Structure 1
């Protein structure tokens, strides 16, 4: 009976260690992720550097580039997607829209 209890404790300990390793693997990238620092001015500068004429509609799109920080901020990600889509609707190339709206 003692051998069974010892094996059970060993198994539980292994499960606990494995769970801790998995949690660390998930938490570490989140904790060390940099925050986004996109701003309307960076977005506009990026578009100008790529050769686009920046007007009212482009500035309106770029205004969504600075909403919130962090990769886990759902509102910020939604706003950046809106920025990107608005620029795509203005015939900005996908890569240029990504650079403008997601500049870090």
Structure 2
């Protein structure tokens, strides 16, 4: 019986670690971020520079308020991104 206590303790710790790690391994990978916006524009052959970075960060930043998608789109339109591409990129930036 003395030998089983260390084994039980080890088993309980192993199960606890496995349960604690479960959310990390099953977390969804789809989320809004400025990189998705930039990657979309890059896939459409746009050069990614500071103004694209700023527009995409604006879409992602919840502190910019509910109009952040429109602000992002306007910023991209000013640097001659096609309206449909700007809308799609900014939508990727604000997706929950």
TM-score for both structures, normalised by structure 1: 0.55
Report whether the alignment pairs 1:96 with 2:85.
yes
Report whether the alignment pairs 1:66 with 2:60.
yes
Residue of 39, 47, 50 corresponding to 2:44: 50
Between Structure 1 and Structure 2, how many residues are aligned?
62
CA deviation vs aligned residue, 1:35-61 (integer Å, no higher than 9, x gap): xx4311011001001110010111011
TM-score for both structures, normalised by structure 2: 0.59
Runs of 4+ in 1 over 4 A off after TM superposition: none
Counterpart position of 1:8: none
The unaligned stretches of length 5 or more in structure 1 are 1-36, 69-73
Deviation of 1:80 after TM superposition, in Å, equals: 1.2
The answer to whether the 8 A contact 1:43-1:100 is kept is: yes
Cα distance in 2, alignment partners of residues 89 and 49 from structure 1: 19
Counterpart position of 2:35: 41
Counterpart position of 2:17: none
CA deviation vs aligned residue, 1:23-79 (integer Å, no higher than 9, x gap): xxxxxxxxxxxxxx43110110010011100101110111111123xxxxx91x311
Secondary structure in structure 1 of the residue aligned to 2:67? helix
Counterpart position of 2:67: 78
